[in-house]
Amino acid sequence: MTAARSALFFVLFQTWTLIIGILYLPLLLAPPPVVGAAAAFWLRGTFLLLRLTCGLSWEVRGTVPDGPALIASKHQSTLETFAFRLILGNPAVILKRELLRIPFFGWYLAKTGVIAIDRSAGTRALKEMVKGAETAAAAGRPVLIFPEGHRMEIGAAPDYHTGVAMLYGALGQPCVPVALNTGLFWGRGSFGKRSGRAVIAFLDPIAPGMDRRAFMAELQARIETGTARLVAEAAYTKPG
């Protein structure tokens, strides 16, 4: 049943995305706020399809930052990648530059004001990331980073990179950790989408001013503890 429902979602999602992608082509000439609003419409349609076909929905817990802030999130699924656009409104998302080469998706992504970095560029990439984050923060936008850099499987050993600490020090803003359990329902590299209600939880912010080592330890502890709690909660309440 899960496979059949996931296949139906895949077909409908691809059709929906192709239609919207073609209809939205003139928006590539529009300013970023217009493209962002159009993207939100596409995302709401996507989540509606996900709920109707796979029985998968999501909820937000905690206090969502209002205004500029550094947001550091666990990354388990495509689900939160989509959801943050609706939750945060106009985030400056730090992502790998390769994503911008994807037809349609990458074109529109580039228009939403993301911070795309070339991960093979080493120190230069980190400097570009910080510069882009400072520009976004000055414009009042939240900056979103996935500190591990890629989607992690449930139970995998943490792999936090120090780029988030560079942003924390440069921006001088509170850092809001985010825990989640989305990988239980839409896992990394998984075709199947399990029914249920995924949780994205905004945790208490970490005040600015900590030294790099202490900040990294505190950030990882909060995110990993919160994520483990949400995974255990979902496993406990899951029918059967």
Q: Does the structure show a pLDDT above 60 at 194?
A: yes
pTM: 0.92
Q: Does the structure show a pLDDT above 60 at 227?
A: yes
Measured CA to CA, the distance from residue 222 to residue 14 in angstroms comes to 36
Q: What is the pLDDT of residues 86-125, one digit of tens each?
A: 999 889 999 988 888 888 788 888 888 899 888 777 788 8
Sorted by where each begins, the domain ranges of the chain are: 57-237
Q: How much of the chain is in helix, strand and coil states, percent to nearest 5?
A: 55, 15, 30
Residue 222 makes CB contacts below 8 A (sequence gap 6+) with: 177, 179, 203, 204, 206
The band of 185, judged by pLDDT with boundaries at 50, 70 and 90, is very high
Report which of 60, 44, 41 is spatially closest to residue 52, judged by C-alpha positions.
Answer: 44
**Average pLDDT of 137-166?**
93
What was the pLDDT predicted at 240? 41
Contact 153, 42 (CB under 8 A): no
Q: Does the structure show a pLDDT above 80 at 1?
A: no
HEC profile of 3-51: HHHHHHHHHHHHHHHHHHHHHCHHHHHCCHHHHHHHHHHHHHHHHHHHH
* Two structure tokens written together for 53: 């076909």
DSSP string, 52-118: HHH-EEEEEESPPP-SS-EEEE----HHHHHHHHHHHSS-EEEEEGGGGGSTTHHHHHHHTT-EEE-
What was the pLDDT predicted at 203? 98
